Structure 1
Amino acid sequence: MQDHKLGRRNIAIVGPYGSGKTSLLESLLAELGAINRPGRVDAGNTVGDSSPEARSRQMTVEINVANTDSLTFLDCPGSVEFQQETWNALIGVDGAIVVCEADPDRALTLAPIFHFLDSWEIPHCVFINKLERATEARWQATLDSLRSCCSRPLVAQQYPLFQGDRAVGFVDLISEQSHSFGEALNLPLSMAESVARNTLLETLADYDDHLLEELLEEIEPPVEEILDDLRQDVSADLIVPVLTGSAQLYWGISALLAALQQEMPTPAETVQHRRLIPCDRPVAQVLKTFFHPQAGKLSLIRLWQGELQEGDTLDGDRPSGIYRMMGDQLQSVQQARSGEIVALGRMESALTGDSLGLDAVDSPLPRVAIQTPVYALALTPERRSDEVKLGNCLRRLQEEDPSLQWEQHGDTHEVILWGQGEIHLQVALDRLRRKYNLPMSTHLPQVPFRETIRSAVSGVHGRYKHQTGGHGQFGDVYLDIQPLPRGEGFRFQETVVGGVVPRQYIPGVESGVREFLERGPLGFPLVDVEVTLTHGSYHSVDSSEQAFRQAARLAMQSGIPAAEPLLLEPILQVELFAPAVFTSSMLRLLSGHRGQILGYESCDNREGWDQVSAYLPQAEMQALGIELRSVTQGVGFFHWRHSHLAEVPERLQQQLLSDRSQ
């Protein structure tokens, strides 16, 4: 047999929030001798989650890297609000452990993870954690629920042993040996375990004709043959083995490590699976960007090919150092070999997802799409003097976390930070305070409402006459004002004859109209209005462009209220995605937020999922994202784009204007 322990495999640990991923990392590191004993999340002494933002919330909020002699682990966030971090890391690993609890009601929360792993053909196994809280029936129900979420055949490699409602060990379904979590066991296979073993062998036989012949002829296949088949099928992402144990109690950890080293592909095999063109030069991809308090900017890379020596340049940048990471600790090394995940110091031009070391003819390595932001807060520095450095610090935050976006809104003049949810943005704000000494006050962003008019008015008169010690000011105009179709914006024209308003003053009239449109009588910009200059008069000495600008403003000021102004709100076109069992919940949710449902259909690339399309007022978007996750067990998501402006319902318009006047 080939020695499959060659090469430092890179393994991601993924799973929903609260499944025990960080505790599992601690147990794996202790089993490998990388740490003396496992830390505890509640004690705040784990290798991962070392940042104050993670420890205060007792949750993973960014990638945690832990290097050992044989394996590099990437502990990934479980919250959907930090999913971008997880996806960015997964494209650089050789395999993944999907961690979950023995809870069939939560199995659906793994659907997005399985979908991503299968889409990228990343080999993975499942570790059903917290076995001390399970029963055999609950464990089996969880396995059945997981199968409905996974597009690959999902088969038990181990079967738990229970005495009453207490887990005492597991059976290795390949060797048929029983293992205890305390005392020695030597038990024959039960009926359930025999059925599970047959399911495993039959699934392997789907990809191996020789094994299929042995099963049909009722020949017991050798253990080595089963292991070889399992390794080939897992490495090719054809099947997903399921193991079990308890990270907190150290159950099943050595068996999980053995499975990772025996069944997950080596770095060289991953390169073959990704169909990368072999070359001798260093080729890498940035998986994550950190700003370290001592080392400055760090680019976590997967070195796909070649070697990188200290002092080498990569895409014109010379790294200040090459580091292996153990949580927030850095170990300087002289070189990185093909397949390793290391951190490079001060690669100033490198961004998360970038391909490094490619020739001009090479295509960039595939990268993960940036998620559409769904939640926003408007920011104001608590200290006025900090306004100057805010933009630069927000850009650094965005380098660390590309799913953050920020803008200086042109209409409301607010600095708006966009992200994936309230916790996501609060973590970003905590980092601003801690790393850059930038405390912020926040509020929900203003909705960019607009005004328009219902009816036309003609012959609106505006006269500006002002006498000073010298030349006076005189301008006199008549305007026709009428509404335009929605989305037409603003149109100005003139029909004056006989020179009653000289040509050189007409631009002043248009300028005065445009200035008034910036803030209408309801307090918002006016749109979809046509204004026509029809008549006027001037004074040969006192008239000026400035005087006609003021006259136009006066005319608009008296004419617009007579044209029945009304309030418009931005309408988004949204597409909601969730398993079909939640379709009715999505429809009710949209209806409860003034959504206009356009229709729904099955998703092309997600079996068992539906897509609902609707128009939704922008004012309702913040609540939609939070409630959608609530009614879909955290797996639902949506995309949005601006569509059009629509009239605000009268009742809501009166409430908005009343709130604004207070």
Structure 2
Amino acid sequence: MSGTDHTLGARIGGPRLIAILGPFQTGKTKLFEALLVRAGAAREGAALGDLSPEARAHQMSVEANIGSADYLGDQFTFIDIPGSLEFSHEARQTLPLVDAAIVVCEADPRKIFPLQLVLRELEELGLPHFLFLNKIDTAVTSVREALAMLQPASRTPLIARQMPLWKNGVAIGFIDLALERAYVYREHSTSEIIEIPAGETAHEKEERYSMLERLADYDDELMEELIADIEPPRDQIFDDLSKELRAGLVVPLFFGSAERGAGVTRLLKALRHEAPGVATTRERLGVAPEGPALAQVLRTIHTSHGGKLSLSRVLRGNFVDGQPVLSPEGEEKISGLSRLLGGALSKQGEAREGDTLAFGRLEHAKTGDRLSGDPRLGAKEATKSELIPPPPVHALALKAKDRKDEMKLAGALAKLIDEDPALQCVNDQSLSETRLLGQGEMHLRVTLERLASRFGVTVETRKPTVAYKETIRKRVQSRGRHKKQSGGHGQFGDVLLAVGPRERGEGFHFSEQIHGGAVPKQYFSSVEAGCVDAMGQGPLGFPVVDVEAVLMDGSFHTVDSSDMAFRAAGRVGMSEALAQAESVLLEPVLAVTVYAPSEDISRASAIVSGRRGQILGFGPREGWEGWDKMEALMPEAEMDNLIVELRSATSGAGFYEARFDHLAELTGRLARDVAAARAAAKGNGAG
């Protein structure tokens, strides 16, 4: 392709934000780097993506790569979003703010369902997007065959913008169907214009007509021209391509090889002329064009030397370094504006409308928050994030290896969660356990590696503790007596309790049937408190639930009785009753919904059944062609690594949602094993 811009059609201009996304290992980061190199932002071979130690260690993107470039006078910022489902949650915070997206894909049937997940998110956002069919140099299918394979993943019609030129089974170039020009690839360089080969003329006319027919579905004038066999003007074709892309009516398909830099210039020119700008994005977000300067944070980065950076898209107006801004938590001052390119920052004096820059040291701004440039007028628009992180599907219990690092661990986790809202940290007081929750085994592994490499905190991890409970099977009566004499006033409390089981989920209930003042009324609440104390740990070692206690009788001493004494008596009476009432172990059971491609649902059901899951039913996933869902009940004890196994069985596309449903009796060997493990833990001082 020559350096001259032959593309027609109205050009938007202004800074634009473009997302690059797609299934795992389709070559997104290679395309990200190739676009920046071709735009002149870096030299050939420069490493611009996946620079973190974690990304290099695992040879995969584990966070978004960000880079800006000026191409033919237009400013572009590209955000390369990881393809692994464990890290693709970054799309949720990024995509609403971008102007258009490039979806990198392959003609690989194993990646069609992961591609469908990506395209569905773009479709629901109403975000214009291009498809880039990568690795054309190793393709074994024609573009038409590839289109037929890819179309089921998209609810929007795909439209081929190019046809390849083949030589000895290898794609050596392409014909641009809108321009009707042929190009030959040059390794890591712009392609060269050539005459359309004589043998390709008829094929080119056929493919071009197919493209125009698709455009004519939304343009009556073009349809009339095609019916009358009138050649439409080229600028009309480009206008249609742009309008129908921006309206979400078609998805243009380009192809090339990111590895070799083939097809990259043509893609850049399509972005320059056809991708909408910030005005369209602002309208999609419901932001008025007039008003004080407004920006939204799309990513938070904590750097070792520069402090906190809030990567922000300027939706309206301009910001300058040192300017006061209003965040949802109050007024702050921008301390530095920077443009990102890989791991490098370049200082900027101003952030213009449409720019995507890092705002320095806004300590209280969160990912998703909106920032107003006028603290006096912008209070209504400085809104908190509406970002809803995906529900966690994997968890680890952790603690600092060195106890003196416990406070350091808490601060480090807070910063990592600030950067990555898909992480959660839960401190469960009842289990004396800190749990880290996220999107999969690799997601949490990378988080732990960051704790060590960035914050110097190493942790010990284990499977989270299952919150077993216990209850009783039969009704008993028990007397609790507390008597102590140690000089002066003594302590005396005496109660008779009737203790029995309740229905599952009804909790604890206390009542009294005292006659004749055997226990004064003022001590009833103390007896109840003592019962609750005893239920904290039953005979099997777990909290007791779904029990009722009735205070039937007792006695008191006018001098030695007290609230403390009757609380102790209640605790003794309840403890003795529980020991006689046939304790039974209860395990938490979750309601689980599994989503998977229809062709994989049988494997998913086998996984669930193999984990003591009770399958309740199957059905199609509403609105998702080729997908099924499965409802099941599964013990919480069987959930560990479920997402790992499920994704492995579904080409990385399957996932689940879960919520607590009920407690169920656990009997037999499993119950004995759980009780034995609890007893061993108590013996080792683990609580």
Deviation, structure 1 residue 261:
1.4
2:388 aligned to which of 344, 347, 369:
369
- Equivalent-residue separation in structure 2 for 1:268 and 1:614 (angstroms): 46
Structure 2 SS opposite 1:523: coil
2:338 aligned to which of 323, 326, 335:
323
Give CA-to-partner distance per residue, 1:230-272, whole Å, 9 cap, x none. 1221122221111111111121111221222122123334434
1:135 aligned to which of 125, 137, 140:
140
Deviation, structure 1 residue 486:
1.1
- Asked whether the 8 Å contact 1:108–1:145 carries over to 2, the reply is no
Residue identity matched to 1:160: P
Distance change in 2, residues 1:565/1:67 (3 Å): same
2:226 aligned to which of 207, 215, 218:
215
Distance change in 2, residues 1:185/1:593 (3 Å): farther
- Asked whether the 8 Å contact 2:9–2:235 carries over to 1, the reply is no
- Counting only pairs closer than 5 Å after superposition, residues 3-42 of structure 1 correspond to structure 2 as 3-4=10-11, 6-39=13-46
- Asked whether the 8 Å contact 1:285–1:365 carries over to 2, the reply is no
Give CA-to-partner distance per residue, 1:552-601, whole Å, 9 cap, x none. 33333332132111111222223333333334344333333233334344
- Equivalent-residue separation in structure 2 for 1:364 and 1:123 (angstroms): 26
- The reply on whether 1:66 has 2:38 as its aligned counterpart is no
1:574 aligned to which of 592, 615, 623:
592
- Equivalent-residue separation in structure 2 for 1:144 and 1:617 (angstroms): 42
Task: Show structure 1 runs of 5+ residues with no match.
Answer: 40-45
- The reply on whether 1:348 has 2:355 as its aligned counterpart is no
Distance change in 2, residues 1:238/1:325 (3 Å): same
2:167 aligned to which of 163, 168, 171:
163
Deviation, structure 1 residue 3:
4.8
- Equivalent-residue separation in structure 1 for 2:205 and 2:9 (angstroms): 29
Q: Which residue of 2 aligns with 1:151?
A: 155
- The reply on whether 1:312 has 2:323 as its aligned counterpart is yes
Distance change in 2, residues 1:460/1:10 (3 Å): same
Q: Which residue of 1 aligns with 2:575?
A: 557
Deviation, structure 1 residue 193:
5.0
Distance change in 2, residues 1:511/1:368 (3 Å): closer
- Equivalent-residue separation in structure 2 for 1:603 and 1:366 (angstroms): 29
1:388 aligned to which of 370, 387, 407:
407
Q: Which residue of 1 aligns with 2:213?
A: 202
Structure 2 SS opposite 1:136: coil
- Asked whether the 8 Å contact 2:130–2:252 carries over to 1, the reply is yes
Give CA-to-partner distance per residue, 1:602-641, whole Å, 9 cap, x none. 4444344333333222222233322222222222222222
Q: How many residues align?
A: 654
2:129 aligned to which of 121, 124, 132:
124
Distance change in 2, residues 1:478/1:122 (3 Å): same
Residue identity matched to 1:77: P
Give CA-to-partner distance per residue, 1:124-182, whole Å, 9 cap, x none. 11111122221135x54432221001011111111223334322222222233332225
- The reply on whether 1:424 has 2:425 as its aligned counterpart is no
Q: Which residue of 2 aligns with 1:113?
A: 118
Distance change in 2, residues 1:497/1:273 (3 Å): closer
Deviation, structure 1 residue 275:
5.0
Of the structure 1 ranges 295-304 and 185-194, higher mean CA displacement relative to structure 2 is found in 185-194
- Asked whether the 8 Å contact 1:49–1:55 carries over to 2, the reply is yes
Say what the alpha-carbon RMSD is for the aligned residues.
Answer: 2.4
Deviation, structure 1 residue 541:
5.1
- Equivalent-residue separation in structure 1 for 2:57 and 2:387 (angstroms): 29
Structure 1 SS opposite 2:121: helix
Q: Which residue of 1 aligns with 2:57?
A: 56
- The reply on whether 1:624 has 2:642 as its aligned counterpart is yes
Residue identity matched to 2:300: T
Residue identity matched to 1:154: L
Of the structure 1 ranges 546-555 and 378-387, higher mean CA displacement relative to structure 2 is found in 546-555
- Asked whether the 8 Å contact 2:279–2:289 carries over to 1, the reply is no
Structure 2 SS opposite 1:331: strand
Structure 2 SS opposite 1:83: coil
Give CA-to-partner distance per residue, 1:305-344, whole Å, 9 cap, x none. 1111222222122110111111221111111111111110
- Equivalent-residue separation in structure 2 for 1:640 and 1:151 (angstroms): 28
Give CA-to-partner distance per residue, 1:324-366, whole Å, 9 cap, x none. 1112211111111111111101112211111222845559699
Q: Which residue of 2 aligns with 1:42?
A: none
Give CA-to-partner distance per residue, 1:261-310, whole Å, 9 cap, x none. 12212333443455532114211111111112222111111111111122
- Equivalent-residue separation in structure 1 for 2:269 and 2:561 (angstroms): 91
- Equivalent-residue separation in structure 1 for 2:58 and 2:133 (angstroms): 24
Deviation, structure 1 residue 533:
1.7
Give CA-to-partner distance per residue, 1:424-459, whole Å, 9 cap, x none. 1111122222222221111111011111111211x3
2:609 aligned to which of 587, 591, 598:
591
- TM-score with structure 1 length normalisation? 0.93
- The reply on whether 1:299 has 2:310 as its aligned counterpart is yes
- The reply on whether 1:102 has 2:107 as its aligned counterpart is yes
Q: Which residue of 1 aligns with 2:630?
A: 612
- Asked whether the 8 Å contact 1:107–1:142 carries over to 2, the reply is no
Of the structure 1 ranges 522-531 and 410-419, higher mean CA displacement relative to structure 2 is found in 410-419
- Asked whether the 8 Å contact 2:292–2:378 carries over to 1, the reply is no
Give CA-to-partner distance per residue, 1:453-490, whole Å, 9 cap, x none. 11211x31333444546655443322111011111111
- Equivalent-residue separation in structure 2 for 1:167 and 1:3 (angstroms): 31
- Asked whether the 8 Å contact 2:466–2:636 carries over to 1, the reply is yes
- Asked whether the 8 Å contact 2:107–2:141 carries over to 1, the reply is no
Task: Show structure 2 runs of 5+ residues with no match.
Answer: 1-7, 187-191, 681-687
- Asked whether the 8 Å contact 2:9–2:273 carries over to 1, the reply is no
Structure 2 SS opposite 1:373: coil
- Equivalent-residue separation in structure 1 for 2:424 and 2:387 (angstroms): 16
- Asked whether the 8 Å contact 1:81–1:420 carries over to 2, the reply is yes
Of the structure 1 ranges 167-176 and 503-512, higher mean CA displacement relative to structure 2 is found in 503-512
Distance change in 2, residues 1:537/1:610 (3 Å): same
- Equivalent-residue separation in structure 2 for 1:634 and 1:196 (angstroms): 34
Structure 2 SS opposite 1:250: coil
Give identity over the alignment, percent.
43
Distance change in 2, residues 1:194/1:571 (3 Å): farther
- Equivalent-residue separation in structure 1 for 2:381 and 2:13 (angstroms): 29
- Equivalent-residue separation in structure 2 for 1:235 and 1:5 (angstroms): 12
- Asked whether the 8 Å contact 1:292–1:298 carries over to 2, the reply is yes
- Equivalent-residue separation in structure 1 for 2:577 and 2:452 (angstroms): 50
Deviation, structure 1 residue 85:
0.9
- TM-score with structure 2 length normalisation? 0.90
Of the structure 1 ranges 166-175 and 379-388, higher mean CA displacement relative to structure 2 is found in 166-175
Q: Which residue of 2 aligns with 1:527?
A: 545
Of the structure 1 ranges 412-421 and 470-479, higher mean CA displacement relative to structure 2 is found in 470-479
Q: Which residue of 1 aligns with 2:5?
A: none
Distance change in 2, residues 1:195/1:108 (3 Å): farther
Distance change in 2, residues 1:472/1:281 (3 Å): closer
- Asked whether the 8 Å contact 2:531–2:571 carries over to 1, the reply is yes
Of the structure 1 ranges 586-595 and 215-224, higher mean CA displacement relative to structure 2 is found in 586-595
